[in-house]
Amino acid sequence: MIGLVFEQALNGLQLGVTLFLMAAGLTLVFGIMNLVNLAHGSLYMVGAYLWVAFAKLTGSYVAGVLLALLGTLAVGIAVELVALRTLYERDHLDQVLATFGLILFFNELVAMIWGRAALYAALPAWLSGHVELGELRYPLYRLAIILVGLAVAALLWWVVVRTRLGMLIRAGASNRTMVAALGVNIRLLYTVVFGFGAALAGLAGIMAGPIYSVQPGMGELILIQVFVVIVIGGIGSIRGALAGALIVGMVDTLGRAFLKPLLATFWSPVVADTAGPALASMLIYMLMAAVLALRPEGLFPARA
């Protein structure tokens, strides 16, 4: 039982870091450009598809990952330049609708190129085994996701807090007019931030690809969970995104694994069978409602 809890906790951590990679980009783009980007999930999907395509083309997993990252970066920058740049000054409603249009566009575009059926791609041998963690045999690949995710989180913290680029990002978030007045090319800064947010989403998609199926619409499923993450954490705050991602990853995974048996011990198995899965899939939304009722600005609101 302890082993099972530990395994599910690791799965929760793995979902958590994936959510964080998505949430970091989304929350930065919102915090700095004041842009609601629904198409962030599409970049996740584009990353996964590009990885499958490049891995097949080059025959190498690592080359596939690197090319897919560059590809998603390029797609992100192109989207920013063509469509989103003009939306920064618009209200949220326009942003929601335009990026909703982009989602339709990207979903159909990948269906046009790669078909509507789900794609599966094999992992290389050196990533597909299991590791022994005490009593538990845990898939090596999931462990790798956790480690990569935590490393990227640390790197991101370093970039934002310790580098000149990070300083500009933070300055842009607090007062963009002043930053522009001081001679910083704010449009370039926006494009760079958006591109890196896209690459992070692409990385999340690349890593999720071998676990979940790669198919049109895969981005929306995670996008809405990411919304929950950044609302819980506080919009615009990277710390909040990390905390929210880990909380949501854990609650969702543990809820799906243990809510049903837990209900079965208190009520009848029939109740558990019907209410368990329903409650488990609603759990993170109820959590969000509770957080908002107590702290409408989220757990770690971005400093104004």
Nearer to another protein, 77 or 143 (CB): 77
Q: What is the CA radius of gyration of the chain?
A: 20
Q: Are 43 and 176 in contact (CB under 8 A)?
A: no
What six digits make up the tokens of 189? 């800064």
The least CB distance from residue 104 to another protein, in Å, is 3
Classify burial at 147, counting beta carbons within 10 Å of its beta carbon; exposed 0-12, middle 13-18, buried 19 or more: exposed
Q: Which is nearer to another protein, 123 or 264 (CB)?
A: 264
Type of residue at 224: I
Nearer to another protein, 152 or 275 (CB): 275
CB of 248 to another protein, least distance (A): 11
CB of 73 to another protein, least distance (A): 21
Residues near another protein (CB under 8 A): 30, 36, 83, 86-87, 90, 92-94, 96-98, 100-109, 111-112, 220, 224, 227-228, 230-231, 235, 274, 277-278, 281-282, 285-286, 288-289, 292-293, 296
Specify the residue, 166 or 277, whose C-beta has the smaller distance to another protein.
277
Q: Are 44 and 75 in contact (CB under 8 A)?
A: no
Please say which residue, 1 or 304, places its beta carbon nearer to another protein: 304
Least Å distance, CB 137 to another protein, is: 31
Alpha helices in 34-124 (DSSP H): 40-58, 61-79, 92-114
Least distance CB 106 / another protein (angstroms)? 8
Q: How far is the CB of 100 from another protein (least distance, A)?
A: 4
* Nearer of residues 10 and 29 to another protein, judged by Cβ: 29
As measured in angstroms, the least distance from the Cβ of 121 to another protein is 24
Show the DSSP H helices in the chain as ranges. Answer: 2-33, 40-58, 61-79, 92-114, 140-162, 164-174, 176-181, 186-208, 218-233, 238-266, 269-294
Distances (CA, A) of 138 to 3, 135, 150, 271: 10, 10, 18, 32
Shorter beta-carbon distance to another protein: residue 192 or 224: 224
Degrees, nearest 5: CA angle 109-115-121: 110
